[in-house]
Amino acid sequence: MHSIRTLILDDDLDVCRLMSLAVAKRSHAEVEVLQAATQALAAHEEQPFDLMIVDWMMPGMDGLEFCRRVRSLPTGQHPVILVVTSCSDPSDLEAVLASGANDYLAKPFEQAQLATRLAIAERSVAAVAEREAARAEADLLNQRLLDVARKIGMAEIATGALHNVGNVLNSVNVAASIVGDRLAEFDACHVQRVADMIKEHSSDLAAFLASDGRCERLVDFLDQYCSHLSSQQQQAQQEIRQLIERIDHIKQIISAQQSHAGVTGPAEPVSLADLIEDALQLNIISLHKHGVEVIRQFDPVPQVMTEKSKVLPILVNLIKNAKEALTSSDQPSKKIWIRVLAKDDSVVRVEIEDNGVGIAPDVARQVFNYGFTTKPGGHGFGLHSSAAMADSLGGGLLAKSDGPGQGATFILDLPLQTTAITV
């Protein structure tokens, strides 16, 4: 067993010596003897004790008040406290335990009784240490899970961005081919023949135009050819405008991805409206492709103190899920409602609702479970990691649906920690 840092707190020097001898026999103990509760509190705050043996009746702050003070300290949640008391009334003993003590030893006591109580206390200290070690390991594993979840979320964002860019590039390629075809149709040979004919008769051009029968058709030809060129030019200009728009889409997608790629760090003031727009931008091509209408309903709420690198993957994933719920339905009018509102004075809520396939009650209870998925080829990690990241931010994520065919709403709550700036 590791060394147990032990406090003996009693204003009676004889009792202190007796206790010290008993504890010293237990080789794992590191003992500090004090006679004033205020000194003991200061010593505990400086270096926490594992075990405290405390007398109830002391001048100034008594043992029960000392217990209450210890339990109120950040460092006071885990020490094992043994109160020594001459009181034997059941209500008094209940008061001992209510103060935060783990056990008590009634005076007068035999050495064997003290040894038994110390053995029990030592087992309690060991159990506390094991729980703390397990908690620390769980915290470490949870942090690793969150790191993995964030990286997967960012990887999915990058994959989605590449997919969107690929779709736009296909459109760019088609538009460029159409422009090339239009240019190929600009046949200048007929105009060149007219120019050659005029050049050949440049010395007698007036007489040639008046006498040659071909000249009567020349005006009609030039008129028709100009109309044809004008039409081709308009079509080419339209394709070029669309080409420029698609290139702008690519730039916007890349810009949105770059603005968040690899972003980590402490919480900062974040406009949820702006972050939602970034999440939409990363899904915009797919949303347009499937004819999804996005309806924004943003209340004026303060910025939240949060981590962008965790919130953005959550929003991207929820919007993507809503889009997939719509593409899997036969709903002719596909809509996503995104709302930002204040749940209360300390929490801001984001609701993402769709009118897609909905969620069955038995599925709704499982959607955030690791590995659960209803999608062919799905990995069941997206919603699980989103919920884990929401929890790590001090918020929460939940799903609501009236059943299959009734759409679904995912609700993200984030602690406000308000600043003066509003979205």
* Predicted confidence band of residue 301 (pLDDT cuts 50, 70, 90): very high
**Average pLDDT in the 143-169 region?**
66
Amino acid (1-letter code) at residue 341: L
Q: Which two tokens stand for residue 107?
A: 């005076």
**Higher-pLDDT residue of 112, 357:** 357
pLDDT of residue 238: 79
Q: Which two tokens stand for residue 407?
A: 């759409």
Identify the weakest region by mean pLDDT among 48-62, 200-214, 277-291, 292-306. Answer: 200-214
Distances (CA, A) of 41 to 54, 61, 103, 366: 12, 11, 19, 48
**Average pLDDT in the 232-243 region?**
77
pLDDT of residue 256: 59
pLDDT of 31 higher than 60: yes
pLDDT of 1 higher than 60: no
User: What mean pLDDT, rounded, does the chain reach?
Assistant: 81
pLDDT of residue 336: 96
CA separation for the pair 175, 229 (Å, rounded):
19
pLDDT of residue 240: 79
HSE of 356, CA atoms in CB hemisphere, 13 A = 25
- Of how many residues is the chain composed? 423
* Predicted confidence band of residue 375 (pLDDT cuts 50, 70, 90): low
Q: Give the orientation angle of helix 214-260 with respect to helix 189-200, to 10 degrees.
A: 140
Query: Could you tell me the pTM of the whole model?
Result: 0.50
pLDDT of residue 294: 96
CA separation for the pair 112, 54 (Å, rounded):
18
pLDDT of 7 higher than 50: yes
pLDDT in tens, 109-119: 888 888 888 88
**Average pLDDT in the 250-273 region?**
68
pLDDT of residue 73: 86
Identify the weakest region by mean pLDDT among 128-142, 204-218, 301-315, 327-341. Answer: 204-218
- State phi, psi for 186 to the nearest 5 degrees: -75, 75
pLDDT in tens, 81-94: 999 988 878 888 88
* Predicted confidence band of residue 157 (pLDDT cuts 50, 70, 90): low
pLDDT of residue 252: 62
Query: Cβ distance 16 to 58 under 8 Å?
Result: no
Cis link prior to 376 (omega < 30° from 0)?
no
Amino acid (1-letter code) at residue 215: C
CA separation for the pair 52, 373 (Å, rounded):
51
**Average pLDDT in the 60-68 region?**
91
* Predicted confidence band of residue 422 (pLDDT cuts 50, 70, 90): very low
* Predicted confidence band of residue 419 (pLDDT cuts 50, 70, 90): very low
Distances (CA, A) of 225 to 153, 209, 270, 357, 396: 57, 19, 59, 55, 67
Distances (CA, A) of 142 to 78, 146, 148, 231: 22, 6, 10, 64
Query: Cβ distance 409 to 358 under 8 Å?
Result: no
